[in-house]
Amino acid sequence: MTHSENENSVETRRKRATQRETALRDSRLIRALASGQPIEEAAARENLSLRQARERVSIVLSRRADPPAEFAQMQIRRLSEAMLVAYAAMKGGNLQAVDRVLRITREFERYYGFAMSAPPAPSLPSAFPLSAEPLALPPPQNDEAT
């Protein structure tokens, strides 16, 4: 084996090790995001800039068979964990947690496809709601045949 062949062999091994390390880092990034960790924390843990972390996540998701479905499943796992925390806070008497539970429920509906295409426009409650139906029975009709 000549000197140049030996250098190529070392370079190839280093490249493979780098690819392996990158794959492991990508896996740790995706796992951290799936568990609900913010991308900023995951990037800091992996010694990446925020831009680099976003690029890596984008690359990994683009290689998947169905990226939108994978992303939806990841979001659903994150929402499930958030729901557990919100329920625990609500049971502890935290009334603000009720709002969080409702918001998380709306997000669940969105990812499961139950949400409407556009949210209904907020309306002000009326003291006297108008009804299309009459509030009383119709007057009796006189039958002249009887």
What is the C-alpha to C-alpha distance for residues 30 and 46, in angstroms, rounded to an integer?
Answer: 12
- Is the distance from CB of 81 to CB of 53 less than 8 angstroms? no
* 139 assigned to some structural domain: no
User: What does pTM read for this prediction?
Assistant: 0.40
Indicate the DSSP class of residue 120.
P
* 138 assigned to some structural domain: no
| Phi, psi for 59 (deg, rounded to 5) | -65, -45
* 77 assigned to some structural domain: yes
Asked whether the predicted pLDDT for residue 115 surpasses 60, the reply is no
Q: What is the distance, to the nearest Å, from the Cα of residue 141 to the centroid of all Cα atoms in its chain?
A: 60
* 123 assigned to some structural domain: no
Domain that holds residue 86: 66-116
> Mean pLDDT for the chain?
76
> What are the CB-based long-range contacts (under 8 Å, 24+) for 84-90?
none
What is the C-alpha to C-alpha distance for residues 41 and 133, in angstroms, rounded to an integer?
Answer: 57
Asked whether the predicted pLDDT for residue 44 surpasses 90, the reply is yes
- Is the distance from CB of 104 to CB of 86 less than 8 angstroms? yes
Q: What is the pLDDT of residue 3?
A: 60
Q: What is the pLDDT of residue 82?
A: 85
Listed in sequence order, the residues at least 6 apart from 134 whose beta carbon sits closer than 8 Å to its beta carbon are: none
Q: For the chain, what percent of residues have pLDDT higher than 70?
A: 65
Give how many domains the chain has, as a whole number. 2
Q: What is the pLDDT of residue 30?
A: 87
122-135 pLDDT per residue, tens: 555 555 555 556 55
